[in-house]
Chains A and B, each alone.
Chain A
Amino acid sequence: MQFLKNKKLFVVVIFISLTCVVLGQQRQKTGRLVGTISFGNEQTRTFTKFSPRTSIILISKGKKKTIISNEEGDYLPELRTGKYCISSVESEDGKKLKLWSSQNKCFKIYNNKTTRFDINLLE
């Protein structure tokens, strides 16, 4: 009997846990990041070229998240809400790329909203 009771309890606990996980996922709040990564001259503020297939490594709440720009240098990922900061930027071949000194490093993602955040790289 005790075994059966424990088994029932185990099933109930598992069911509740799974329900919580599913509901939690359903309630996950997300927003959209829209941006373009490009090279340019910081002094003259002139555009040089877009930066395709570039890895942008972000940090949010201690976790890393990498987004990669497309062939045109654009990115449009859906991200969980919260504050994100640029950790580093790498070219397709793994080379570290430098940001403009005046580049803003952080942005926020809001629920069901879009955040426009571009990245200017030193040429």
Chain B
Amino acid sequence: MKISTKKEKSNCAFLTSYERDTETNLDYAQARYYGGVYGRFTSPDPIAGSCINPQSHNKYAYAWNNPLVLTDPTGLIVSWEDSEKKKEDGETEAKTNAQRKYEKRLEEMINSKDKKTRERGLKLNATYERLQTSDITFHVVKENPSGASSGELTYKGEEGHLYVNLKGDNNAYGALTDIQKIAHEFKHGEQFLDGQIGFIRDEKGKWWGYRDDLPDEAEAFITGFEAQPLDPAQRSNKFLNAVESARSFGLNAVVDVLDREGPYKGRSKTQLEMRFVGGKIPPNVYAVPKK
């Protein structure tokens, strides 16, 4: 993944996340979470290549198995940039738990005897490689680790930098696992690169998710469950169970579930792309225009 040094003013934004409104069951993308700048995600090294090279996973000689080592002193973050920093310090195999877990999962899938699983693994790996080789730096961070589990893609106003926030670890209510969240948010990263989603700045300077519609969310959920199906405990979550069950019926079926059951209700059912009047991106929008 390329590392951009370009910087803009420091505002914040987010892309996906959800909360359920039990009264109306209506959609609202929740408040954006703003934090400091938490490092970079991956290096120019072809880390994705390591997913299909089992040897690269056999050398975890350091103490990085301990997640505490990878936790910011503020308790706010576990970042793949930590891995980057360790590499800069000469520790070539240092990885965060999240990175290690995700890459291990990709490796398992790619080496699976099941053809469908292999294909899904290769697809996920292609997305991972796409993010790594893009002009955008995707920072994988974990803010509020003790909070409820959810994920979001955010923009903080620094051109060329997006944040994949894995947020909490609390899966008490069957929320998504780290692997599902990473695959889900990486899909949103790819959607950003494809001009399907973006960010918009309000008059107060805050950045918000933009044109993130139900087909975008459905794609991301499908990708998350392709990376890791729901486990029995997660099935107790009615919403997640309904989404995963709809997956085999295709994208529109998942869109229907998101519109009917979930906190995403109210978003567009059509794909809203980054097309603008005269082809010019408005000054308050951060997006890749759709070609």
Checking B23, B24, B27, B259 against A116 with a beta-carbon cut-off of 8 angstroms, the contacting residue is: B27
Contacts of B200 in A (CB 8 A): 34, 74, 76
Given A36-B268, A102-B259, A108-B26, A47-B273 contact (CB < 8 Å):
yes
Contacts of B26 in A (CB 8 A): 104, 106-108, 115, 117
Contacts of A102 in B (CB 8 A): 259, 269
Distance, CA A119 to CA B264, complexed state (A) = 13
> Could you tell me which residues of chain A, from 20 to 75, have a CB within 8 Å of some CB in chain B?
32, 34, 36, 38, 40, 45-47, 50, 52, 70-72, 74
The size of the chain A interface, using a CB distance under 8 A, is 33
CB atoms of B211 and A36 under 8 A apart: yes
CB atoms of B277 and A71 under 8 A apart: yes
The answer to the question of A78 belonging to the interface, with a C-beta cut-off of 8 Å to chain B, is yes
The answer to the question of A118 belonging to the interface, with a C-beta cut-off of 8 Å to chain B, is yes
Checking B23, B31, B255 against A113 with a beta-carbon cut-off of 8 angstroms, the contacting residue is: B31
Distance, CA A70 to CA B282, complexed state (A) = 11
The answer to the question of B53 belonging to the interface, with a C-beta cut-off of 8 Å to chain A, is no
Contacts of B24 in A (CB 8 A): 83, 106-108
Given A32-B202, A76-B202, A107-B26, A117-B266 contact (CB < 8 Å):
yes
The answer to the question of B134 belonging to the interface, with a C-beta cut-off of 8 Å to chain A, is no
The answer to the question of A114 belonging to the interface, with a C-beta cut-off of 8 Å to chain B, is yes
Residues of B in contact with A (beta carbons under 8 Å apart)? 21, 23-24, 26-32, 200, 202, 206, 208-213, 252, 255, 259, 264-273, 275-277, 282
Residue pairs across A and B with Cβ atoms less than 8 A apart, 29 shown, are A34-B200, A34-B208, A34-B210, A38-B272, A45-B255, A45-B270, A47-B271, A47-B272, A50-B272, A50-B275, A52-B277, A70-B282, A71-B277, A72-B282, A76-B200, A78-B202, A100-B269, A104-B26, A107-B266, A108-B21, A113-B28, A114-B32, A116-B27, A116-B28, A117-B27, A117-B266, A118-B213, A119-B268, A120-B269
